[in-house]
Structure 1
Amino acid sequence: MTIAQLCLLVACVLPIVCAGLAKSKGFGKRRRDGGFDNHAPREWLARQQGWQARANAAQANSWEALPIFLAGLFVAHQHQAAQATVDALAMGFIAARLAYIGLYLADQASLRSLLWIAGLGVSAALFFVG
Structure 2
Amino acid sequence: MTVANYCMIVAALLPVLCAALAKSGGYGKRRRDGGFDNHDPRSWLSRQTGWQARANAAQANGFEALPLFFAGVLAAQQMHLDQGRIDLLALVFIALRVIFIGLYLADQATLRSLVWALGVATSIALFFA
Task: Give the alignment of 1:71-110 within 5 angstroms.
Answer: 71-110=71-110
Q: TM-score, normalised by structure 2?
A: 0.98
DSSP 3-state at the match of 1:111: helix
Give the whole-Å Cα distance in 1 for the aligned partners of 2:40 and 2:8.
Answer: 30
Following TM superposition, the consecutive aligned residue runs of length 4 or more in structure 1 with deviations greater than 6 angstroms are: none
How many percent identity over aligned positions?
A: 64
Give the whole-Å Cα distance in 2 for the aligned partners of 1:44 and 1:60.
Answer: 15
Per-residue Cα deviation, 1:84-121 (whole angstroms, up to 9, x for no partner): 10000000000000000000000000000010001000
Give the whole-Å Cα distance in 1 for the aligned partners of 2:103 and 2:53.
Answer: 13
Number of aligned positions between the proteins: 129
Once the two structures are TM-superposed, the CA of residue 2 in structure 1 deviates from its matched residue by: 1.3
Say whether 1:25 aligns with 2:25.
yes
Amino acid corresponding to residue 71 of structure 1 in structure 2:
A
Aligned-pair RMSD on alpha carbons? Answer: 0.5
Q: TM-score, normalised by structure 1?
A: 0.98
Per-residue Cα deviation, 1:36-87 (whole angstroms, up to 9, x for no partner): 0001101100000000000000000000000000000111011101111000
DSSP 3-state at the match of 1:26: coil
Q: Which residue of 2 aligns with 1:15?
A: 15
Mind listing any 5+ residue stretches in structure 2 that lack a counterpart? Answer: none
Mind listing any 5+ residue stretches in structure 1 that lack a counterpart? Answer: none
